[in-house]
Structures are given as structure tokens and as C-alpha cells.
Amino acid sequence: MVIIRFADAKTEQRALGFMAGHFSFKTWETGETAVPEPVLSYLAREGFAFTVEGPATYERLASLRNPAAAPVQ
């Protein structure tokens, strides 16, 4: 998996719609999206502008997650 960021919100929405149902991915409110590396060529071929930010290592993914939920009392 690699972390990518789309050029703008409109491109991101179009790309997520393109990937939905075809590829696995995870997106965060920060604008970062984790996709399998082979998806990059499909996105580029369809003309979606994006930047590769790096591999989706465990440490990187853990930093993108939302903080743990507050304990229930």
C-alpha cells in the first residue's frame, strides 16, 4: 500500500468514485488515501492528478488514525 494525496477536493471525489467497487482503499479527513501500488497506474491512465507521499507503513497508518474513543462510564 502507498499513501497518495489528490491535487484538489474535486479530483479526490471523482477518483474515489472511480475506485469504489473496483479497488480497496482507505481515505482520511487529512486528504491522504492509502491504495495498493497497482492502482496508481489506473489512476494515472484515467487522468487523475495525485502525489505519492510514500509507503503505507504501520507507523504511517497509525499516525493517520483518529484518536481512540473516550472510555464509556
pTM metric for this prediction: 0.77
The pLDDT value given to residue 30 = 87
Confidence of residue 61 (pLDDT cuts 50, 70, 90): low
Domains recognised in the chain with CATH numbers: 2-64 (3.30.70)
Cβ atoms of residues 48 and 18 within 8 Å: yes
- Per DSSP, the three-state class of 1 is coil
Burial class for 33, CB neighbours closer than 10 Å (0-12, 13-18, 19+): buried
Checking if the pLDDT of 71 tops 70, the result is no
The pLDDT value given to residue 47 = 95
pLDDT tens sequence across 13-22: 999 999 998 9
Kindly give the pairing relationship between strand 50-55 and strand 26-27: unpaired
The pLDDT value given to residue 7 = 92
